[in-house]
Structure 1
Amino acid sequence: LASERLASERPASERPVPARPVSERPEPERPVRGAGNCATSPHDEQLSQHSETTPKTPNPTRRLIVSRIVGGAAATAAVATVGYGTYGVLRGPSVKRVTVPLAKLPRAAHGYRIAVVSDIHLGPILGRGFAQRVVDTINATQPDLIAVVGDLVDGSVKDLGPAAAPLAQLSARHGAFFVTGNHEYFSGAAQWVEEVRRLGLRPLENARTELDRFDLAGVNDIAGESTGQGPDFDRALGDRDPARACVLLAHQPVQIHEAVRHHVDLQLSGHTHGGQLWPGNLIAAAANPTVAGLDRYGDTQLYVSRGAGAWGPPTRVWAPSDITVVELASKQA
């Protein structure tokens, strides 16, 4: 009692403060990040910098799924493209029509139609049935003349004679003519020249024939030079009448330079397949002055067919096969 009385008699500033229960004590204030100038600890700054500089790791499962989808789509597109290209070859060539005006062509020859077919490439895959489709397509155009400008076969007469037999059915008012391509010289050119002659075609071996309204000439392929049977432009064109229009059959487009020198009006060629498929398109463009279609070199025009068949894989990509009906036009008409 005496101690309680003494305590009560002390000034208020000297009296002891009773302790609060733990449940009633206020919680210490915590610093708020990014609020004004509140201080942050070095540890907090390190965590903040780490979270800002560390890249997020992509989900490996998602990346795998995306790569599989892209790869599958590319494979599907490739297979579809090759499949369609193969179907395009096997079903046979389509017909393309081109009008070519010739300054020296007389009015009476205006509208004269030449069916141009090259690079049929008869062989183990493109056989007799394919040859029949080509012949039927040509005959359906009812041409005045048919020009077969090389690379008819990929094999010997013994092996492919039956496959070429439908060529005997080719029909045109002024007949069908033939010049050799480079593949004939891999397959026995002399035997094939005789075989096509037997089938009713007329070979033009560095030769010329004077038709009613213009001259038609043909030269051997460059590949024949190895056997002494190469092209001879002087023999085919040297003594002709320059006042008459002249159409030349020559398998390779590079022969255009000699045609220009001999004042040919129109050269009809093949050989390139229009590129056929990559990387053939790059090779064809590098090796030939014109890959496909109609072009002009000085006073001489050059038409290059994409060909009716295919060499190597029987497929074409962005270079469809064709038989071209070239219609000559007179500037006097």
Structure 2
Amino acid sequence: MMLIDSVKLEKMMLAKRVAKFLNGSQSDDDRIAVEDVARLLARDLSTQVREVLAFELRHCDVLPSDLAEKIARDVEDVASPFLSSTHAFNDETLAALIPSLAEHARVTIARRPDLGGLAVKALAEHSEAPGVTTLVRNDSVGLSQEACDAVVGRFGDDRRLMDQLSARADLPLVVVEQIIDKVSDHCRDTLMQHYAVDGTLAEKIAGGSRIEALWQQIANAAPQQVHALVNDMRKQKRLTHLLVAEMAERGSASFLESSFALEAGLPIIQVREALNLKKAQDFVDLMKRIGVSKAMAPRFLNIARKLYVEGAHGTNDNAAPSAGLAGEG
């Protein structure tokens, strides 16, 4: 046993000397001979010997490609220290190597602050979730639209990973629009603020499935049930004027009335009277009280006409307020 340990120690010392030699400037003939010794050490049965060689070679800028790739494909303890620092690969050769590497190696590469665009794209296309998550969290490297498309295409259903992607500050706007319906509500709000995404566009993209689920919940519910749901949504800050308009346009007067009543702090019957459009000023005052934007006010006016003037929730022969008047303020 002592003999084996002594042999291993000698090989480890040899690995250090070989690496020191290759890190220097030597003649081509001498270098070729030492490189052959390094190749033998890179195939040694002892992980410790290979670890020492890889660690000592991590700052060697000029290595034969077969030797560098052998180390890169080794077990994690050997490959990771080498891959975290080596400049033996350029962007093109590293990108070509990534598909054949183990995931632990891809994770190590994804942490590097000096990755080129080709390597980033290769990581996005070939890494599993751990490597891709590490990549999107690496703010030191840029993500091209191609890389982002690969991430979204492969992991669009992984909300946690999409949330990580949304936290980046350098996403192309087209990518923001792709992921806005794939992230959590908090991350969606952050995306909208950081990238100045129009709220209407964001809701149109993100709201489709959410609106369908909500409509299924309220379509046949009693007014009291709708009111309780609206109250909960308001407390959770999930109630928006656009969402209210969507539900009302589908025919839920209860959702509209409860939302406006809670926001305005008024009884539902008073909100209903304003929506009946019997008095133009009542409708205008309601819009102002709940802070409806000028862009949204005409939409709510049309909703009120359809639900309360023309529909079953009320009739009125008086003239309704104009869209311009309703949007003032």
Query: TM-score, normalised on structure 2?
Result: 0.22
Structure possessing the higher relative contact order (Cα contacts under 8 Å, 6 or more residues apart): 1
Q: Which has the higher strand share?
A: 1
TM, length-normalised to structure 1: 0.21
**Which structure has more helix as a fraction of its residues?**
2
